[in-house]
Amino acid sequence: QAATPPPPRVVPRLSMAARGLRALAALPPQRRLLAAVVVAGACWAPVGGAGGSRPLARRGTADKLTGVHIQCQVCKMAMKEARTRARDEDIRDESALSRLMQNLCWSTKREGQWVAMLDIERNKEGSGLLLHKKDRVGECRAECQAVQHACVKAVEGRQKAAVAMLSDLAGLAKLQNTVCERPCKKRELPPLSSRWVGEKFKVAGSAGSAAVRDADYRGLYRREEL
């Protein structure tokens, strides 16, 4: 009679905590102490962030409120960019102007690289936002996406009018007043959160030299100055 084979050996599965302790024990003494401090700090961090129970400030918030506060400024800057590019490159053809308007708000397009050159800051009073144009193209993160969204909303439904005016070589003021009438309509804006914190501008690794060379307006812009 054949002998009954022994049952397979069952290896107990270690819990996550046990595996962590085993890995901690394998570290050199100095690194073991540092790892223990880091783990303890993570376990005892207060709810709502390391600073306490209050939620952390949102940096470069690409939310609707940010877009509302910058939409008029973005629209007027977009029209200035479109007019400058159409004039400097002698763009008169309607299809080419339509393509210019389609790409104007997107930082990944040549016509829209100006979007990634903008930095959003609070004004001195702290009640509104200003656009600060840098001389180099930055990474398109939260603030850049907020500008893109504001630009798209601002020119929505006004592209044909902009193309016609660019083709007729309309002046900048007329172009801005016509296309940006809706986003620049005087109204009381919703209050900006006291926790709104601007995102630090970071220069992109592959900054497009064309966008920097073609830029003809810099500095801080208030709504009434554009």
Give residue-wise pLDDT tens across range 118-141.
999 988 887 889 999 999 999 998
Tell me the per-residue pLDDT of 54-105, one tens digit each, with 9 for 90 and over.
333 344 444 678 889 999 999 999 999 999 999 999 999 999 999 999 999 9
pLDDT, position 192: 82
| Tokens found for residue 41 | 């700090």
Least confident of 59-63, 65-69, 196-200, 215-219: 215-219
If you count DSSP H runs as helices and E runs as strands, how many of each does the chain have, helices first?
8, 3
CB 62 within 8 A of CB 74: no
- Comparing C-alpha atoms, which of 114, 130, 156 is closest to residue 66? 130
Extended beta strands in 68-202, E state: 118-122, 129-133
pTM value is: 0.63
- Report the percentage of the chain scoring pLDDT > 90: 48
Lookup result for tokens 């590019």: 85
pLDDT, position 30: 57
Q: Is the pLDDT confidence value at 208 over 50?
A: no
User: Which has the higher per-residue pLDDT, 220 or 199?
Assistant: 199
Least confident of 110-114, 159-163, 197-201: 197-201
Tell me the per-residue pLDDT of 164-183, one tens digit each, with 9 for 90 and over.
999 999 999 999 999 999 99
- Please tell me the distance from the alpha carbon of residue 62 to that of residue 79, in angstroms, as a whole number: 22
pLDDT, position 197: 82
pLDDT, position 45: 32
User: Which has the higher per-residue pLDDT, 164 or 10?
Assistant: 164
Element (H, E) at 106: none
Whole-number average pLDDT of the chain: 75
CB 94 within 8 A of CB 163: yes
